[in-house]
Amino acid sequence: MKRVIIANDHGALEVKSQIVKHLEERGYTIEDCGVNTTDSMDYPDKAEEACRRFIEEGDYEFGVLLCTTGIGISISANKCRGIRCALPQNAWAASMTRKHNNSNFIAFGGSPHITYPEPVTEILDAYIDAEFEGGRHQRRVDKIMKIEEV
């Protein structure tokens, strides 16, 4: 079964609903670590919870993180050992982060102030449908991961 973990704070409820519906339509089972109210929630806590579960359980295809801008939650996720979270600005970048960086999380902003040139679901599809190319990109991913030792 294809599993995805998702987490959000209070600033990304609408985009979360769109993404969950879309992923379910694509046949994914969703593990939701996020919130479903507008009550204030600290995005670093949600990022850490999702990333810990992703690493410890190990049977998720990828994770999706959402906050008002996508910035804070992606920064938080990238502090977790083993996580490579991308915040793509369009479908091409989403595809490339999977092909070249083997990103295991993707982040989006949920505020009306954050706009994308394509629907978020199309950006997510570009990410899902891309495959890691390996080769010289594996060498670069290894270098990225080695930075965690600093």
Is the whole-model pTM more than 0.75? yes
- Span 130-150, pLDDT tens digits: 999 999 999 999 999 999 988
Is 67 noted as a catalytic residue in this protein?
Answer: yes
Known catalytic membership, residue 100:
yes
Q: Which of 10, 33, 80, 100 is catalytic?
A: 100
Q: How far apart are CA 12 and CA 110, in angstroms?
A: 4
Reduced to 3 states (helix: H, G, I; strand: E, B; else coil), residue 42 is coil
Q: Which residue of the set 33, 51, 67, 85 is catalytic?
A: 67
Confidence at residue 70, expressed as pLDDT on a 0 to 100 scale: 98
What was the pLDDT predicted at 78?
Answer: 98
pLDDT the model gives residue 1 = 78
Q: Which alpha helices (DSSP H) does the chain contain, by range?
A: 13-25, 43-57, 71-77, 91-101, 120-129, 136-146
The whole-angstrom separation of Cα 116 and Cα 88 is 9
**In the CATH scheme, what is the code of domain 3-149?**
3.40.1400.10
Question: For 62-78, what is each residue's pLDDT tens digit?
Answer: 999 999 999 999 999 99
Which residue positions in the chain have pLDDT lower than 70? none
CA–chain centroid gap for 7, Å, is: 9
Give me the residue spans of the domains in the chain. 3-149
